[in-house]
Structure formats: structure tokens, C-alpha cells
Structure 1
Amino acid sequence: MNHRTFNSLIAAATLLSAGAALANAPAEKPAQLKIACVGDSITFGARIENREANCYPAQLGALMGEKATVKNFGVSGTTLLKKGNKPYWKRPQYKAALEFNPDIVVIKLGTNDTKPDNWKHKSEYVPNYVALIKSFRKLPSKPEVWVCYPVPAYPNKGPISGTVVKEEILPMIDEIAKQTGVKIIDLHTPLANQQALFPDSIHPNAAGAKIIAETVKAAIAGK
């Protein structure tokens, strides 16, 4: 093989390689949906083993795959009520959720509001919730906002009341949806009569979080 032939082969191989690279170049991926999960300890994943992988937002992210980026903005102990003992409004995660500029917002707040010291302000629950929804709707992304019926609270020694959740919070969320036009994700029904999934009667375990994630995905996917 002479020098000229060798150089010709190298040049041809280089051209073929360049053509193959262009042909195999990945197509530009469509932009991922940004989903913000706003809530209390149940959203955060408190008391779940391996929380970062098993909280409901993480499991929702796994279910959505490459279609979405799901972020957890849950804060344990927080209330929807501005006059509650730990308002979500004052947490840095609320500001972070706004700065995320999400396409979809899933709000699950109300469980801690049922504590007697908080629920004495129950007349402000609906207007405070409406204000929270509006704060997200003002974002440049104009997100679709979903509100959740809280999961059941089973009999416990603490101040959280399952009766208030079922008999007062749920009807109020119906009124909130009526006033704002948001859609409701029912997390109460699929976890009713599932006390075994709530080791402390308040917080679902990883299996309970999976049900939440599946229910949220089915709702936002329109199934």
C-alpha cells in the first residue's frame, strides 16, 4: 500500500465516521414538564424508610420517567392557614416552589390545620387556600393547579383530627375548587380503610406513598 492510497483510505473513513455521527445524533428532547409537589410531612415523606426514594413525589417522578421533573417542596408540620402554628407561607420551600416556575402544582395541605389551636381559624381556610392557588397562577409558567383531598387521619393520641379532615376539610376543598376552577385529586378514598399503611395513624408508609403517587399520576395524565 503506497502513501497516497493510505491517506485516501483515512480520508474516506473520516468522512464516513462524520456522516455516521450526524446520522446517529440524538434528536433534541422535548422540554420536560415541571411538577411542584407542595404540602406537609406527608408530601415530604416523614417517617418513610429511605424517604428520598420512597416519598410520593419521588415515586411520582419514577412513574413519569423522562416526561417530567418532579420536585418535593413538602415541609413537615406546616399548615395552609396563615394563622396556623407553622404556616407553609413562611417556609423557604414555598418561595422555592414559586421560583421553580412549574407547569403543574399539586397541593396537599390541611392535615395539620385540624389541630384545635389551628382550626379555631377555620373560617380563613378557604380564602387562604384560594390565595395560595392564585399565587401560583400568577407565575410566568401559568401552571395547572391541582388540590388534594388529604389522606385519612386514623385515631391517634395527637391533636390531628380525622373527623375534621373528613367532615370539614373535604367539603371546604370542594368549595375552593368551585371558586377557583381547579381540579381535585382524591387521596382520601383510595387510602380509606387502609390503616395498616399508616404505622403512626397519620403518615403513610412507602406503600401508601405509592398509592398517592399513582393516584396523582392518573389524575394529571387524564386517566
Structure 2
Amino acid sequence: KGDFPYWNEPQFQQVKDFRPDVVLIKLGTNDSKPQNWAHKAEFVQDYLDLIAELRDHMPKDGKVYVILPVPVTRENFGINPEIMNNEQRLMLFEIIQKSGAEVIDLYTPLMDRPELLADGVHPNEEGWGIMARVISRRIRM
């Protein structure tokens, strides 16, 4: 739903056809835009449906990781910090709990580092480096 649903993208089918062992899902930032957050009542169920659909195309011992997005330090590009840092974070924890997915937390390592988010939304090179290290460590566990 919203202005760019992954369900409709050819890459979504390609991921399913690939039958991955590991899937990392980092969604939500663009969902906080007004035209997308109009569907907030469906956010949790849509996310759970996405995970279930991917699991149907994975081996039984495959792992799904839900990534908690980086903090949003100010509104920009229509992305709402109040929604991202509070309302949606709670929804993501609900999704993780209900789905049994693993979590990768990119929020905590950057929450006290606003200088790494120059536009308030997107990390700079140092921020990307931190994100890469967090993800790498987590999926190697």
C-alpha cells in the first residue's frame, strides 16, 4: 500500500525465486510519510504478511531479520520523526514478537549521534559504516 509497495516490484518475486537462507527487512521510514501512514492500521499485518510470504520461499531453518531503522532527528522528505522514533518502533517490536523474527537494532547505535544524520534521515559515510558493522556482527551470530 502507499506510494511504493514492495509487493508490486519485480525484485520481490526475484527474492522469492532465489529462495534465500537469510532475509533482512528494513522497512518503515518511507511509511511514515503522510500518504503512506494513512494505512497505519494495516502496517503490522502487512509486515507480518510480508514475512510470512518470504518464509514460504525459504528453507525451514532460514532466518528473517527485522531491522529497526536509524533514528530520525528532524522532519525531512515528509518523514515524521515522532512516528518513526515512537509509534512505529513499538509496532516493529510487535512485529518481531509476533513473527519470531530476529532483530537488528540500527536505532540504538545512532540515537545519540545526530551529526551522522546530516539531513535528519539519511546516514553519512560514518553512519553507514556503523550500520554495516552492526548488521555484519548480528548475522554472523
> When the two structures are superposed, what TM-score results if normalisation uses the length of structure 2?
0.91
Residues 177-213 of structure 1, C-alpha deviations (whole Å, 9 max, x = no match): 1111111111111011222222322111222111111
102, 105, 111: which is aligned to 1:186?
105
- Find out whether 1:94 has 2:16 as its counterpart: no
Tell me the secondary structure at the aligned position of residue 185 of structure 1.
strand
Task: Return structure 1 stretches of 4+ with deviation > 4 angstroms.
Answer: none
Cα distance in 1 between the residues matched to 2:20 and 2:76: 37
- Find out whether 1:114 has 2:32 as its counterpart: yes
Aligned residues: 140
72, 76, 84: which is aligned to 1:153?
72
- Find out whether 1:171 has 2:123 as its counterpart: no
- Give 1:91's aligned amino acid: E
Q: Tell which structure's C-alpha radius of gyration is larger.
A: 1
Distance apart, 1:140 and its partner CA: 4.5
Show the counterpart of 2:133: 214
Question: Structure 1 vs Structure 2: percent identity of aligned residues?
Answer: 41
Unaligned runs of 5+ in 2: none
Cα distance in 2 between the residues matched to 1:118 and 1:159: 10
Cα distance in 2 between the residues matched to 1:109 and 1:131: 13
How is 1:1-223 mapped onto 2 (pairs within 5 angstroms)?
Answer: 83-142=1-60, 143-222=62-141
Tell me the secondary structure at the aligned position of residue 117 of structure 1.
helix
Residues 14-47 of structure 1, C-alpha deviations (whole Å, 9 max, x = no match): xxxxxxxxxxxxxxxxxxxxxxxxxxxxxxxxxx
Instruction: Identify if the C-alpha distance between structure 1 residues 91 and 161 changes in structure 2 by more than 3 Å, giving closer, same or farther.
Output: same
Instruction: Identify if the C-alpha distance between structure 1 residues 140 and 88 changes in structure 2 by more than 3 Å, giving closer, same or farther.
Output: closer
Cα distance in 1 between the residues matched to 2:135 and 2:91: 20
Tell me the secondary structure at the aligned position of residue 147 of structure 1.
strand
Q: Is the 8 A contact 2:63 2:102 kept in 1?
A: no
- Give 1:152's aligned amino acid: P
Cα distance in 1 between the residues matched to 2:36 and 2:50: 17
Unaligned runs of 5+ in 1: 1-82
Cα distance in 2 between the residues matched to 1:140 and 1:174: 23
Cα distance in 1 between the residues matched to 2:73 and 2:58: 40
Tell me the secondary structure at the aligned position of residue 102 of structure 1.
coil
- Give 1:105's aligned amino acid: V
Query: Once superposed, what is the RMSD of the aligned Cα atoms?
Result: 1.4
Cα distance in 2 between the residues matched to 1:115 and 1:202: 12
Asked which structure has the greater RCO (Cα within 8 Å, sep 6+), the reply is 2
